[in-house]
Amino acid sequence: MKQLMMIGFGAMAREVLALLPAELSLKWLLVPAARVAEVQAELGPAVTVLSRVEDCAATPDLVVECAGQTAVREHGSAVLARGWTLGLISVGALADEALARDLRLAAGQGGGRILALAGAIAGIDGLAAAREGGLESVTYQGRKSPQSWRGSPAETLVDLDGVTAPTVFFSGTAREAARLFPANANVAATIALAGLGMDETRVELVVDPDSRRNQHRIRASGRFGELDIALSGLPLAANPKTSTLAALSVVRACRQCTDPLVI
């Protein structure tokens, strides 16, 4: 039986845990120090609940982060420096150049690897392959309900309560989007990493009062031809910011860790 370490125990992590492949068991869970006792009581003795990577003496087969960009900053280097594989869902953390450099350095020195998970979007495989032949343009549009943008800087850019038609409230680079909207625009950074980079990938963020879906559209062109992918995702009931598919992409990484056929 392979052993998993998970970072974070919010809406996404709970969904992942419910769908974990039978061949992988959750052995360690990292949560903020103040929540260790409460989460340990909830999960029982089969899982060791910790707040620091340093307190795990064994070697997980896989570490998956489902906790946010701050957690990547807090734990990422320690995981990679130990030579462990880190599946990253808060990919927007890599929009911080200094952090991205530190993580690469830790991975290089310790032998760890970073898996940037596709998350809530589809098409990362095609985009990353297309890059090898040369890309001309990549744009991303993220469209969510007012409820999904609450608690983000969208609140100061558009009237989330009064909006009556789909409205673009942010237009900029993937780097800016991922940093300004850390709970909503990690996918902008993922698309950038697969394609033209953080500063050449154009991003539009939209509030749509008539939709309960998290909608994602990627358009790219290059030597390969053109790509146009539209995805209409259902948010998790426990967190309207987060698409169900993002949690499922973490489950996919867990499956890839255990199954001899990797797809």
Ligand X SMILES: NC(=O)C1=CN([C@@H]2O[C@H](COP(=O)(O)OP(=O)(O)OC[C@H]3O[C@@H](n4cnc5c(N)ncnc54)[C@H](O)[C@@H]3O)[C@@H](O)[C@H]2O)C=CC1
| Contacts to ligand X by CB under 6 A | 7-13, 30-32, 66-71, 74, 89-91, 119-120, 182-183, 186-187, 190, 239, 242-243, 246
- Minimum CB distance to ligand X, residue 225 (Å): 25
Among 100, 120, 206, 218, binds ligand OAA (CB under 6 A): 120
Q: How many residues bind ligand OAA (CB under 6 A)?
A: 13
Report the alpha-carbon angle 249-254-256, nearest 5: 90
Measured in degrees and rounded to the nearest 5, phi and psi for residue 101 equal -65, -45
Query: Near ligand OAA by CB under 6 A, which window of 23-31, 37-45, 51-59, 177-185?
Result: 177-185
Of the residues 143, 179, 216, 241, only one is catalytic, namely 216
**How does DSSP classify residue 234?**
P
CA atoms of 85 and 115, how far apart (whole Å): 7
The token pair that represents 239 in the structure block: 């967190």
Give 63 or 246: the residue with its C-beta nearer to ligand OAA. 246
How many C-beta atoms lie closer than 10 Å to residue 242's C-beta? 25
- Minimum CB distance to ligand OAA, residue 119 (Å): 6
- 74 binds, options ligand X, ligand OAA, none, Cβ within 5 to 8 A by partner type: ligand X
Residue 101: partners with Cβ closer than 8 Å, 6 or more residues away: none
CA atoms of 157 and 56, how far apart (whole Å): 43
Contact criterion met (CB below 8 Å) for 28 and 53:
no
Contact criterion met (CB below 8 Å) for 24 and 257:
yes
220 labeled part of a ligand binding site: no
Catalytic site includes residue 216: yes
33 labeled part of a ligand binding site: no
- 214 binds, options ligand OAA, ligand X, none, Cβ within 5 to 8 A by partner type: ligand OAA
Q: Counting beta carbons within 10 angstroms of the beta carbon of residue 239, is it exposed (0 to 12), middle (13 to 18) or buried (19 or more)?
A: middle
Q: Which of residues 182-241 bind ligand OAA (CB under 6 A)?
A: 183-187, 214, 233, 241
Asked if 179 touches ligand OAA (CB under 6 A), the answer is: no
| DSSP line for 18-83 | HT--TTEEEEEEE--GGGHHHHHHHH-TTSEEES-GGG--S--SEEEE-S-HHHHHHHHHHHHHTT
CA atoms of 163 and 165, how far apart (whole Å): 6
Give 91 or 160: the residue with its C-beta nearer to ligand X. 91
- 5 binds, options ligand X, ligand OAA, none, Cβ within 5 to 8 A by partner type: none
- 145 binds, options ligand X, ligand OAA, none, Cβ within 5 to 8 A by partner type: none
- Binding region for NAD(+): 120, 186
Residues that bind ligand OAA (CB under 6 A): 119-120, 183-187, 214, 233, 241-243, 246
Catalogue the active-site residues. Answer: 216
Q: Which residues are annotated as a binding site?
A: 120, 186
